[in-house]
Chain A
């Protein structure tokens, strides 16, 4: 039986269930110092002076640094989507001349004990001349740092993507539909806060940072470059990672500071942030305003769409550069033909926490915008919203579908898809017509219940390449080494299943090493739903190479011809004589080594797709919103472990519901963050979660990789805002009511009052 497609229990779980996990804060080293960051209490201002005298005299304090102490360190560079002219907006590891958000690191305290470090940090006094904070990314651009960077203003780049004849589309249109929508500030908020331990080995000079995540190889190179070290003298080591979601594992100022301190202070340095710091210092995301116009025919066919949008990227440009805006502009058209299109994405800085990617970056926002637009078109023309979608979906016969624009430097070509088929399957699964009739009856009886449907495209499998090495060990187990990373998604199990599928041994005999820069020369990490596609394909290639090598080595040992040999249950067996030999024995009798490697390259991403259906009920008195039922229909091409995909999707739905009705980083008019605890940044508990039904399909395998897989990590979140918004409109009988996420009860109440006036 093939190991692919089985819902096998995870290899990862045992240590995590017994308390033997090794998360960032669990690392310790003899003689370690503790770092505490002093953060700006002001959203925007010029630093006049920083007084560290009292703090330096506090018990246990070893050193305190401000920017002057690390002035030689360059700012943190872009990892992705570098756009010319952005360099001046990068963040220094400690604030240089100005502070640009509440939480901006201005100093670091190193002390013998974390409690003492925190005591001393409270004694550091920052004299900051407060300037007027900019908190609206749609307002006219303002100066970035008036004195330090005189020419720079807060519009850092404009990304334009277009195809087709938009002018003609609007000229020929039966109607024009316009819409402005906003998606609030959310973020991944993993349950584990960030943390790191840097240790320099005195003998070898090797600097190791424990607590790495997501992109260890890239960050090793960045840290080495910033500290002026040869990359061979820097090692990043990933332990367990308590959730990623796009934000964890990017290179942050604190990571560089612990490494610099371990070098300079000659002792191991540990840093673990608290939750308040996390909520105001780790990357935020979303926060976009879209101004859409659609040219439509009378039957709802969309001839063209234009979108001018604004991404509020906060105080500085961090590692993601223009990624979120690039993805938003490229993927807004989603599953629809839209023969003409123009997006103009303005990347603006404000005095909020800097922003990066969060699960389905650019897609959660644009799926909300696009699907709200489709609902608005249906409402304007008096058509059924599902029918309007069917009229516009790209047909199976049009695949592969060349969109004519780029995303993340790759040409957008939808590789495969049966969109109409999946939509119908989703409607059938939930019993759409009957359910609509039932909800109409409940509404007639006075309840506010409604249904919303949204279609979306995801993207996955970002290249350029992945490499794995694979070797047979003397105990007849297989070790796979990959430069990918684990953020809790189950990479060990999935890679082992791909390997087991070729080699035929149980996954328990396969171990997967990841996130260790000293074990493999290259690695691209875990982001953009790339691991199963890229690393999985590399594992497939390596497994086949290992199989071929084992057979070639076994032939003389078994005195058999290669053609008669095959791999069965981890043994090379002759189909003629029935004689066989195990992999470890082959290795032992062939000079001790049986190993292979696999490299997989991809120039294009692939494009999974899906449908979300939400049913909500609204309490007309409190405006409380209850998501009562949820369906995700998703085509991943091929499922390696359906149970794990199901888990990814349901977990992502929860985050999507958070973003749709609960979560938002709110600021007051001075730029003070108002959501700096879990009492204010509200994430769903099991109370807020409906039963989520997952319809997992494998109807459109990707032709771009040997497994046919597409990524499964993000599709559960992509359309939640869109589907829930549509369902709220439906429940209240007010088409177009929801134009902003999250739909907090207070906001809904105000919208309803406004409507009644």
Chain B
């Protein structure tokens, strides 16, 4: 169990070759081995969603995955969301709508929403609430998170290259 394996994690387009025990969670590997501490651990049992990152295009709980399972997958974390200085529409919307207070749950909400909206930017109100109920926030009461994601969805729809010209 404590024997280490060399794996390569591709995070935000960059390869990190690391040596991990099979039992090491993806969250710990991303945080401690890759040094990307923007991904947070709130419960380590898959309920709060603070550790949500995107693996292979889907939002996942990185506390419930082993690092070795993510080798070879494209991984995206909150550090890769902005394009240089230009914030992602979700980041802008959270800022403008006061969608965060302490900010601990924020990366998880951003990656959850990013993954879902990239797949379907036309989520209706009920689907949006259903999606966002996956994660816990203890500060905001969610009202402004929902408002922010709704606003970002509008912008993401407008920016989306049309699939059917």
A679 touches B45 (CB 8 A): yes
Residue-wise, chain B 92-135 has the 8 Å CB interface mask toward A (1 for contact) of 00111010111111110010000000000000000001101111
Interface status of A13 (Cβ within 8 A of chain B): yes
Interface status of A606 (Cβ within 8 A of chain B): no
On chain B, the residues within 8 Å of A684 by CB distance are 141-142
B95 touches A23 (CB 8 A): no
Interface status of B69 (Cβ within 8 A of chain A): no
- A279 nearest in chain B by CB position: B43
- A658 nearest in chain B by CB position: B138
Interface status of A327 (Cβ within 8 A of chain B): no
On chain B, the residues within 8 Å of A351 by CB distance are none
A19 touches B107 (CB 8 A): yes
Distance, CA A490 to CA B77, complexed state (A)? 25
Task: Give min CB distance, A371 to chain B, whole Å.
Answer: 21
Q: With A192-B104, A242-B103 in contact, do A19 and B77 touch (Cβ < 8 Å)?
A: yes
- B79 nearest in chain A by CB position: A19
Interface Cβ pair total, 8 Å cutoff = 175
Task: Give min CB distance, A493 to chain B, whole Å.
Answer: 10
Interface status of A240 (Cβ within 8 A of chain B): yes
Interface status of A20 (Cβ within 8 A of chain B): yes
Q: With A13-B94, A18-B87, A685-B133 in contact, do A692 and B141 touch (Cβ < 8 Å)?
A: yes
Task: Give min CB distance, B59 to chain A, whole Å.
Answer: 16
Distance, CA A241 to CA B21, complexed state (A)? 30
Query: Which one of A46-54, A429-437, A643-651 is at the B interface?
Result: A643-651
Task: Give min CB distance, B155 to chain A, whole Å.
Answer: 15
Our pick among B38, B43, B78, B98 for the contact of A643 (Cβ within 8 Å) is B98
On chain B, the residues within 8 Å of A557 by CB distance are none
On chain B, the residues within 8 Å of A685 by CB distance are 132-136, 142
On chain B, the residues within 8 Å of A497 by CB distance are none
Residue-wise, chain B 140-153 has the 8 Å CB interface mask toward A (1 for contact) of 11111110000000
Distance, CA A683 to CA B107, complexed state (A)? 19
Distance, CA A242 to CA B140, complexed state (A)? 12
Q: With A9-B96, A18-B79 in contact, do A686 and B91 touch (Cβ < 8 Å)?
A: no
On chain A, the residues within 8 Å of B110 by CB distance are 17
On chain A, the residues within 8 Å of B137 by CB distance are 191
Task: Give min CB distance, A364 to chain B, whole Å.
Answer: 16
B139 touches A488 (CB 8 A): yes
Q: Which parts of A1-38 form the interface with B (CB within 8 Å)?
A: 9-10, 12-14, 16-23, 25-26, 28
On chain A, the residues within 8 Å of B87 by CB distance are 17-18
Task: Give min CB distance, A300 to chain B, whole Å.
Answer: 34
On chain B, the residues within 8 Å of A23 by CB distance are 37, 40, 104
Distance, CA A23 to CA B96, complexed state (A)? 23
Our pick among A13, A26, A242, A692 for the contact of B37 (Cβ within 8 Å) is A26
Residue-wise, chain A 643-683 has the 8 Å CB interface mask toward B (1 for contact) of 11011101111110000000000000000000001110001
Interface status of A689 (Cβ within 8 A of chain B): yes
On chain A, the residues within 8 Å of B105 by CB distance are 191, 242
Interface status of B7 (Cβ within 8 A of chain A): no
Task: Give min CB distance, B84 to chain A, whole Å.
Answer: 11
Interface status of A189 (Cβ within 8 A of chain B): yes
The main secondary structure of chain B at its interface with chain A is loop
B100 touches A192 (CB 8 A): no
**Interface band, chain B:** 35 or more
Distance, CA A14 to CA B31, complexed state (A)? 20
A689 touches B142 (CB 8 A): yes
Distance, CA A193 to CA B51, complexed state (A)? 13
Distance, CA A188 to CA B102, complexed state (A)? 13
Distance, CA A193 to CA B87, complexed state (A)? 28
On chain B, the residues within 8 Å of A651 by CB distance are 101, 138-141
B107 touches A647 (CB 8 A): no
- A656 nearest in chain B by CB position: B141
B101 touches A25 (CB 8 A): no
Interface status of A579 (Cβ within 8 A of chain B): no
A678 touches B47 (CB 8 A): yes
B103 touches A275 (CB 8 A): no
Distance, CA A490 to CA B105, complexed state (A)? 16
Task: Give min CB distance, A437 to chain B, whole Å.
Answer: 28
Our pick among B23, B36, B106 for the contact of A17 (Cβ within 8 Å) is B106
Q: With A241-B102, A685-B136, A686-B132 in contact, do A19 and B142 touch (Cβ < 8 Å)?
A: no
Interface status of A252 (Cβ within 8 A of chain B): no
Task: Give min CB distance, B18 to chain A, whole Å.
Answer: 14
Our pick among B44, B82, B101, B138 for the contact of A274 (Cβ within 8 Å) is B44
- B37 nearest in chain A by CB position: A26
On chain A, the residues within 8 Å of B139 by CB distance are 191, 243, 488, 647, 651
A678 touches B136 (CB 8 A): yes
- A488 nearest in chain B by CB position: B102
A686 touches B138 (CB 8 A): no
B98 touches A18 (CB 8 A): no
Interface status of B67 (Cβ within 8 A of chain A): no
Task: Give min CB distance, A585 to chain B, whole Å.
Answer: 30
Distance, CA A685 to CA B107, complexed state (A)? 17
- B92 nearest in chain A by CB position: A17
Distance, CA A36 to CA B115, complexed state (A)? 35
A275 touches B44 (CB 8 A): yes
Known: A13-B100, A59-B2. 14 other contacts (CB 8 A): A19-B37, A19-B39, A21-B38, A25-B41, A240-B104, A275-B45, A275-B48, A643-B98, A650-B141, A651-B138, A678-B43, A678-B47, A689-B141, A692-B141
Where the two chains meet, the residues of B that have a C-beta atom closer than 8 Å to any C-beta of A are: 2, 21, 23-24, 31-32, 36-45, 47-48, 50, 77-79, 81-82, 87, 91, 94-96, 98, 100-107, 110, 129-130, 132-146
Where the two chains meet, the residues of A that have a C-beta atom closer than 8 Å to any C-beta of B are: 9-10, 12-14, 16-23, 25-26, 28, 59, 115, 188-193, 240-245, 274-275, 487-490, 643-644, 646-648, 650-655, 677-679, 683-687, 689, 691-692, 716
Which 4 A-B pairs have CB atoms at the shortest separation, nearest pair first? Answer: A19-B38, A488-B102, A16-B103, A242-B104
- 14 A-B pairs whose Cβ atoms sit less than 8 Å apart in the complex: A10-B98, A13-B95, A17-B110, A19-B38, A19-B78, A23-B40, A25-B40, A25-B41, A192-B102, A193-B41, A488-B101, A646-B98, A685-B134, A691-B143
